[in-house]
Amino acid sequence: MKRSYLILGIIISAAFLWWALSGLELEQVWDDMRQAQYWWLLPSVAVYFVGVWVRTWRWDYMLRPLKPIPVRRLFPVVVIGYMGNNIYPFRAGEVLRAYVLRRREQIPMSGSLATVVVERVFDGLVMLMFVFAALPLAPLPSSEIQTLVVLASLAFFGAMVVFFIMAAQPQRFMRLSRWFSDRLLPDRIATPLLGFLERFLDGLASLRNFRQVLMIFFTSIIIWLLETIKYWFVMHAFDFEVSFFALMLMNGVVNLATTLPSAPGYVGTFDGPGIAVLVLYGIPQSIAAAYTLVLHAALWLPITLLGGYYMLREGLGWRDFERAVEQSEQVTEDERPRTET
């Protein structure tokens, strides 16, 4: 399955790259990149890392029902996770940070993975808010963007409803799960699977309190506004200007597209939609491509380098990526703290 998923991701990335680069004069794109004022990247990177700190604060808030952890201790774990997403397929960075958190804080992977999934759902909902807020002020969107927004809306709102139901009625959900497992699954599978579900429900505990839900939603908005400010700073390195709402639309569309399977680093799935949104606003395709490629690199490189530093400091190796993925798939294993490196 992993091989098939990777092949599918490469195919999707290749299709998006073909869409992004078709009709482009690459020499003109290179000229536009050379003429950029790259000192604008400095404030953009600073703002981005403020956003990563807010992401860490949000995760701390979601983990408190499991264990309170200082933000300064969580920050390296979050950065390692985002580095993993940038360089490894299958979004392995998400399970890598759950793996590192278990090593450091003895929190079960199933519980922390539940919080990561909820994070992604809130992120998706905020991205949809950005898109809906910006569309009335945008030129007529392409049919591809309309289709992406409709599908993403159905997926994220559906997932949120399911998670709220699970969080609000955990005992009823477990009774229903036991009823199905007793009738459909052998004991050797049912027992560990039910244990995994119980720990997963523990990770949804933050959704049982309205105040906590509001805090998670509020921090999610702040996170993505800060990332849009990064888009705004990078824009000033190039010879064009669009409104902040246009950058909100671009941010929403490209991040919804990156939820699709892709090659590591969201190759193509970030670039194609980003260029398409800017072209909607009348930006020349070569400038839109130069800006999007530089923005992609500015988002990818700093956190990947910092994540590599934290990974070495943590004593982690490349084999730990595979361990993290393997352990996230093995619901049959217990979740006693591990100490291997």
Q: Which two tokens stand for residue 142?
A: 């392409």
Q: What is the pLDDT of residue 287?
A: 96
Over residues 295-322, the mean pLDDT reads 89
Helices (H), ranges, the chain? 2-21, 26-34, 41-63, 71-87, 92-105, 109-134, 143-168, 170-184, 187-203, 210-235, 244-257, 271-280, 285-313, 319-329
pLDDT digits over 133-175, tens only? 877 777 756 666 667 667 777 777 787 788 778 777 888 888 8
pLDDT for 215-262, tens place per residue?
A: 888 999 999 999 999 999 999 999 999 999 999 989 988 998 888 888
Contacts of 341 (CB under 8 A, 6+ apart): 315, 316, 317, 320
CA distance 11 to 8: 5
Q: Any idea what DSSP says for residue 137?
A: G
Q: 10-46 burial string, b = 16+ CB within 10 Å, else e?
A: bebbeebbebbbeeeeeeebeebbeebeeebbeebbe
**Residue 109 CB burial class (10 angstroms; 0-12, 13-18, ≥19):** buried
Average pLDDT over residues 44-54: 97
Mean pLDDT of 55-81: 92
**pLDDT band of 334, cuts 50, 70, 90:** very low
102 by Cβ neighbours in 10 Å (0-12 / 13-18 / 19+) ranks as buried
pLDDT above 90 covers a percentage of the chain that reads 39
Q: Are 179 and 171 in contact (CB under 8 A)?
A: no
Q: What percent of the chain has pLDDT over 70?
A: 90
Band of the pLDDT at 339, cuts 50, 70, 90? very low
Structure tokens, 43: 């404030």
Q: Of the ranges 149-158, 270-279, 280-289, which one carries the lowest mean pLDDT score?
A: 149-158
Check: CB of residue 115 under 8 Å from CB of residue 243.
no
CA triple 45-56-130, angle to 5 deg: 65
pLDDT at residue 329 in the model = 59
Nearest residue to 304 via CA among 87, 133, 147: 87
Treating both helix axes as pointing N-terminal to C-terminal, what angle do 319-329 and 109-134 enclose, rounded to 10 degrees?
A: 90
Q: Is the pLDDT of residue 300 over 50?
A: yes
Average predicted confidence (pLDDT) for the chain: 84
Whose CA is closest to 118, among 178, 166, 68?
166
* Residue 190 near residue 182 (C-beta atoms within 8 A): yes
Average pLDDT score over residue span 51-71: 92
Dump pLDDT digits (tens) for 112-139. Answer: 888 888 888 888 888 888 887 877 777 7
CA distances from 38 to 170, 295, 300, 336 (A): 51, 11, 16, 48
Examine the pLDDT at 333 and tell me if it is beyond 60.
Answer: no
Greater model confidence, 279 or 189: 279
Cα-based distances in Å from 303 to 49, 84, 247, 271, 300: 8, 10, 21, 18, 6
Helical segments of 89-142, H only: 92-105, 109-134
Model pLDDT for residues 9-40, shown as the tens digit of each residue: 889 889 998 988 888 888 999 999 999 999 99
Cβ neighbours of residue 81 closer than 8 Å, sequence gap 6 or more: 93, 94, 96, 97, 100, 307
Per-residue model confidence (pLDDT) at position 2:
66
pLDDT confidence of residue 148: 67
Cα–Cα distances in Å, from 301 out to 94, 106, 184, 200, 297? 18, 30, 47, 32, 6
Q: Which positions ≥6 away from 311 have C-beta within 8 Å? A: 80, 83
Would you state the pLDDT for residue 140? Answer: 59
Q: At 341, is the pLDDT very low, low, confident or very high (cuts 50, 70, 90)?
A: very low
Break the chain into its structural domains and give their ranges: 2-22+85-329
Q: Is the pLDDT of residue 62 over 70?
A: yes
